[in-house]
């Protein structure tokens, strides 16, 4: 043991750069895994904790009958029933005595007693709970309060279902973890006292009733929801399960966390290859020393153990650095803070990073096991090296390579000829080296594709909402579209209306979005099938297709406002909103006997290329003072900004790993050619040419590896991102391949880095007196 440690110490001291690269690669990978774990935990953890704290309902049923609870309580698997709570709809029209600056928000008021209910307790965020002494009090659900810009103490003006106005005071804001957030789920939720609800909707028969069910097995939520619908029949107006709520609460950062985790795993694989390569290089450069160590009395197992231990030591150092790096990143990145908005103590930060769940707990063992496994194979090879020093080994080829003479005769640059030829001729070795470079380059391509996809989402209108602005007018205003279209920056104005829709036999609702008309269709970016051409046709997001269980080209039966409709889904759009659960059609499709000319709720305004959405928005609002609410469309996947940082970090990490690989490739190439180099120099190749030869060879290998990695990486990345899109309901068609320039830069960088990595050792080797090299080998 002591002897092994002595050797390890000396070896590390004399080969600092490769050792440092192993340390840095491990540090980077472990930090990436830790941060991914923390991010994932931050995304999933709070919701889970809140759901448990609130005793959230796994299924919510909204019905028209007020005694559904007894029937529902008898359903198998139901452990507790909350409600029935009387509900009524209302519209938030104003705040603090003024008309609402934003759009009028649809509300669902739920009557509860001041005390906390057994099922689905509101979790206070700000202010207090309902108070029996304050009959004008209202508590807003958190996301609704954010959308309404409401704070405790605000006085809200509500329009009841009968058109009368009521003024209520915001007593508090609370989270409701078992309900999807506004606007994923409209209307937004607010709690009032039963008496207050009675004032807003005096007619008991017109009130709705919400029942929350807690289940013994949350996984059975869909089944239970289905049973509830069959039990209650046509009285059910809405069904929601906890998975909808979870998806809504986690959607923004969940893909980011998953992507980070995937990137961490990809980096782990690349690091494993790099460590294996570095270990193999380390060993093949020390064949003589290893033989001597064996002659001195090291056993084969001892040699193998020593090499693995050495790499584990490096990995352990890397883990320490990686852990510290992850802590620093967590302290700097608010997205990773254990409790957003609160300054974290170092202890809380450490717990958030290291104790955040399986990914974080497994990060260290995963890194150690990977490094051990990656170094074990070369170490076993080292163990099998014969104990006879290689000076007595096979005689080397003494024949000076012919192409060298030919190249010199033809006055071609011999370095180029020999370098390329060496790479082509030693096919097995070149292929191995090129493959090793191809892997990190491939991972880089994945990262670049993720980046270009994000770019594409931010820049173009790939996502369903092509409109840059949404305009809502206070009251009917027929000249409005013409007035909007008059703005030179506006390229199109499309009427729009969103309706909640229910698929038959489904527990979840989706949005039926009417946008544009059949004559002037909205410019949906259809990625599959074709755009809408006729009344009754629709395009859908992947999430809606999955929900309805149909494919493009099929018909779907949906129910909106109690009216069943048959839609022909002719195309699929990339739909980032609501998990892709949106079916879009023309406004005239909504027309029926009762409403032959459906009114738009809003106008979607598309802008000419180059127009600044904020500028136009301000201009329009100023042109119609007090009557317009103009909102720029929020960039879809805004939460994925974290991913950009992750991509940059990943590319840096991969660059490091690639560099390690290139150094190994250069070292291997040099070792293999040392004698050839010396021989070439005896026939007139200058040291500079000899150096150029090695550099050319390494660059050729890097070029092959880079091309291979990029060629395999792009289709793989597109497939992976589309698969991810399909899994989140957004659907395929999201992925943007990186630009040719980016790929060219990547491969060029690899080639240049290879040349740089090879140049210095090659120069050193080329300057060695040829006679000495030939004598020694």
Partner 1 sequence: MTDQDTAVPVLRATGLVKTHRAARGGAEVRAVRGVDLGVGRGDFVAVTGPSGAGKSTLLHLLAGLRRPDAGEIHLDGRRVDTLREADWAVLRRRRIGIVFQTGNLVSDLTVADNIELPALLAGHSARAARERREELLTDLGLADRADAAPAALSGGERQRAALARALVNDPDLLFADEPTGSLDSRSAREVLALLTRHHAKGRTIVLVTHDARVAGSADRVVSLFDGLITDDARVDDTPPARGIRDVLDLGG
* Chain residues in the site for partner 1 (CB under 8 A): 2-3, 6-7, 10-11, 13-15, 286, 288-289, 291-302, 386-389, 391-392, 394
SS3 for 643?
Answer: helix
- State the number of CA atoms in the 13 A half-sphere of 290 facing the CB: 25
Give the tokens for residue 500.
Answer: 């909640």
Nearer to partner 1, 358 or 386 (CB): 386
Nearer to partner 1, 135 or 300 (CB): 300
For 66: left if phi > 0, alpha if psi spans -120 to 50, otherwise beta; the answer is: alpha
Orientation of helix 300-332 relative to helix 254-284, angle to 10° = 150
Nearer to partner 1, 376 or 387 (CB): 387
Distance, CA of 410 to CA of 492 (rounded, Å): 67
Distance, CA of 332 to CA of 233 (rounded, Å): 54
SS3 for 78?
Answer: strand
> Hunting for tokens 């704290």 — which residue is that?
53
Nearer to partner 1, 19 or 259 (CB): 19
Report whether the peptide linkage leading into residue 122 is cis, meaning its omega lies within 30 degrees of zero: no
Nearer to partner 1, 11 or 601 (CB): 11
Q: How far is CA 138 from the centre of its chain?
A: 37
Nearer to partner 1, 235 or 289 (CB): 289
Write down the H helix ranges in 591-684: 613-623, 641-682
With contact defined as beta carbons under 8 Å apart, do 699 and 754 qualify? yes
Shortest Å, Cβ 450 to partner 1:
42
With contact defined as beta carbons under 8 Å apart, do 543 and 730 qualify? yes
Shortest Å, Cβ 670 to partner 1:
16
Nearer to partner 1, 399 or 411 (CB): 399
Nearer to partner 1, 393 or 549 (CB): 393
Shortest Å, Cβ 672 to partner 1:
15
Nearer to partner 1, 289 or 500 (CB): 289
Shortest Å, Cβ 47 to partner 1:
54
Nearer to partner 1, 342 or 391 (CB): 391
With contact defined as beta carbons under 8 Å apart, do 57 and 367 qualify? no
With contact defined as beta carbons under 8 Å apart, do 745 and 444 qualify? no
Shortest Å, Cβ 9 to partner 1:
9
What is the C-alpha radius of gyration for the chain, rounded to an integer number of angstroms?
33
Shortest Å, Cβ 385 to partner 1:
11
Shortest Å, Cβ 384 to partner 1:
9
Shortest Å, Cβ 770 to partner 1:
19
Distance, CA of 367 to CA of 550 (rounded, Å): 44
DSSP class of residue 313 equals H
- Other beta carbons within 10 angstroms of residue 726's beta carbon come to 18
With contact defined as beta carbons under 8 Å apart, do 403 and 418 qualify? yes
Identify which of 278, 348, 251 has the alpha carbon closest to the alpha carbon of residue 636: 251
Distance, CA of 732 to CA of 529 (rounded, Å): 13
Shortest Å, Cβ 696 to partner 1:
28
Looking only at the bridges linking them, the beta strands covering 165-175 and 137-141 are parallel
Distance, CA of 390 to CA of 394 (rounded, Å): 8
Shortest Å, Cβ 313 to partner 1:
16
Distance, CA of 206 to CA of 197 (rounded, Å): 12
Phi, psi of 287, deg, nearest 5: -55, -45
Nearer to partner 1, 234 or 297 (CB): 297
Distance, CA of 692 to CA of 683 (rounded, Å): 16
Shortest Å, Cβ 423 to partner 1:
22
Cα–Cα distances in angstroms (integers) from residue 419 to residues 212, 435, 687, in the given order = 74, 18, 14
Shortest Å, Cβ 3 to partner 1:
4
Nearer to partner 1, 644 or 675 (CB): 675
Nearer to partner 1, 387 or 485 (CB): 387
Element (H, E) at 408: helix 402-410
Nearer to partner 1, 301 or 534 (CB): 301
Shortest Å, Cβ 386 to partner 1:
7
Identify which of 573, 595, 581, 580 has the alpha carbon closest to the alpha carbon of residue 521: 573
Shortest Å, Cβ 283 to partner 1:
13
């Amino acid at each position: 043991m002591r002897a092994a440690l002595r050797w390890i110490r000396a070896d590390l001291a004399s080969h600092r750069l490769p050792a440092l690269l192993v340390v840095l690669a491990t540090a980077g990978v472990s930090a990436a895994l830790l941060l991914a774990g923390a991010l994932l935990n931050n995304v999933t953890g709070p919701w889970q904790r809140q759901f448990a704290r609130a005793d959230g309902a796994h299924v919510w049923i909204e019905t028209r009958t007020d005694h559904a609870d007894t029937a529902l309580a008898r359903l198998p698997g139901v452990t507790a029933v909350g409600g029935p709570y009387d509900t009524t709809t209302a519209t938030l029209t104003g705040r603090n005595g003024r008309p609402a600056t934003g759009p009028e928000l649809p509300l669902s008021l739920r009557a509860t007693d001041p005390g906390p209910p057994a099922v689905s307790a509101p979790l206070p965020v700000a202010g207090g709970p309902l108070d029996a002494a304050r009959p004008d009090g209202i508590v807003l659900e958190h996301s609704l309060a954010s959308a309404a810009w409401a704070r405790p103490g605000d006085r809200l003006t509500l329009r009841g279902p009968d058109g009368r106005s009521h003024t209520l005071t915001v007593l508090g804001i609370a989270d409701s973890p078992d309900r999807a957030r506004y606007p994923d789920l409209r209307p937004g939720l607010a709690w009032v006292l039963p008496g207050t609800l009675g004032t807003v909707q005096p007619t008991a028969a017109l009130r709705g009733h919400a029942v929350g069910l807690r289940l013994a097995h949350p996984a059975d939520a869909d089944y239970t929801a289905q049973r509830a619908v069959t039990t209650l029949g046509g009285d059910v107006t809405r069904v929601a399960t906890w998975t909808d709520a979870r998806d809504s609460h986690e959607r923004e950062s969940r893909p980011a966390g998953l992507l980070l985790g995937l990137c961490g795993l990809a980096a782990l694989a690349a690091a494993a290859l790099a460590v294996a390569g570095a270990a193999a290089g380390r060993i093949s450069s020390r064949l003589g020393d290893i033989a001597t160590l064996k002659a001195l009395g090291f056993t084969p197992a001892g040699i193998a153990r020593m090499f693995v231990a050495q790499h584990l030591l490096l990995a352990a150092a890397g883990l320490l650095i990686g852990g510290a790096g992850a802590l620093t990143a967590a302290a700097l990145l608010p997205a990773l803070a254990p409790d957003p908005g609160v300054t974290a103590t170092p202890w809380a930060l450490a717990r958030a990073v290291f104790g955040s769940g399986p990914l974080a707990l497994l990060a260290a063992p995963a890194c150690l096991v990977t490094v051990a496994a990656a170094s074990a194979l070369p170490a076993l090879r080292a163990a099998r090296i014969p104990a006879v020093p290689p000076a007595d080994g096979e005689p080397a080829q003494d024949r000076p390579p012919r192409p060298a003479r030919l190249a010199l005769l033809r006055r071609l640059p011999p370095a180029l000829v020999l370098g390329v030829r060496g790479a082509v001729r030693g096919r097995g070795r070149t292929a191995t080296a090129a493959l090793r470079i191809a892997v990190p380059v491939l991972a880089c391509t994945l990262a670049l594709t993720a980046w270009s996809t994000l770019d594409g989402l931010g820049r173009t209108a790939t996502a369903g909402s092509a409109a840059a602005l949404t305009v809502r007018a206070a009251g009917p205003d027929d000249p409005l579209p013409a007035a909007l279209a008059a703005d030179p920056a506006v390229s199109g104005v499309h009427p729009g209306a969103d309706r909640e829709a229910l698929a038959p036999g489904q527990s979840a609702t989706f949005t039926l979005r009417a946008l544009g008309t059949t004559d002037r269709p909205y410019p949906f970016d259809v990625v599959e099938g074709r755009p809408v051409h006729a009344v009754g046709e629709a395009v859908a997001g992947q999430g809606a297709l999955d929900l309805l269980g149909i494919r493009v080209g099929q018909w779907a039966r949906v129910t909106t406002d109690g009216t069943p409709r048959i839609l022909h889904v002719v195309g699929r759009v990339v739909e980032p909103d609501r998990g892709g659960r949106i079916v879009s059609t023309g406004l005239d499709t909504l027309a029926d006997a009762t409403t032959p000319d459906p009114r738009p709720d809003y106008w979607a305004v598309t802008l000419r290329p180059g127009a600044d959405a904020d500028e136009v928005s301000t201009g329009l609002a100023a042109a119609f003072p007090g009557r317009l609410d103009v909102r720029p469309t929020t960039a879809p996947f805004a939460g994925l900004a974290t991913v950009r940082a992750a991509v940059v970090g990943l590319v840096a990490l991969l660059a490091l790993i690639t560099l390690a690989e290139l150094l190994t490739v250069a070292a291997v190439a040099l070792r293999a050619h040392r004698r050839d180099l010396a021989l070439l120099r005896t026939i007139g190749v200058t040291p500079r040419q000899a150096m150029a030869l090695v550099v050319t060879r390494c660059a050729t290998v890097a070029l092959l590896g880079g091309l291979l990695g990029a060629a395999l990486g792009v289709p793989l990345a597109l497939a992976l991102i589309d698969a991810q899109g399909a899994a989140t309901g957004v659907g395929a068609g999201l992925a943007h391949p990186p630009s040719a320039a980016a790929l060219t830069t990547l491969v060029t960088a690899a080639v240049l880095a290879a040349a740089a990595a090879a140049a210095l050792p090659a120069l050193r080797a080329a300057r060695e007196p040829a006679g000495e090299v030939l004598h020694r080998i």
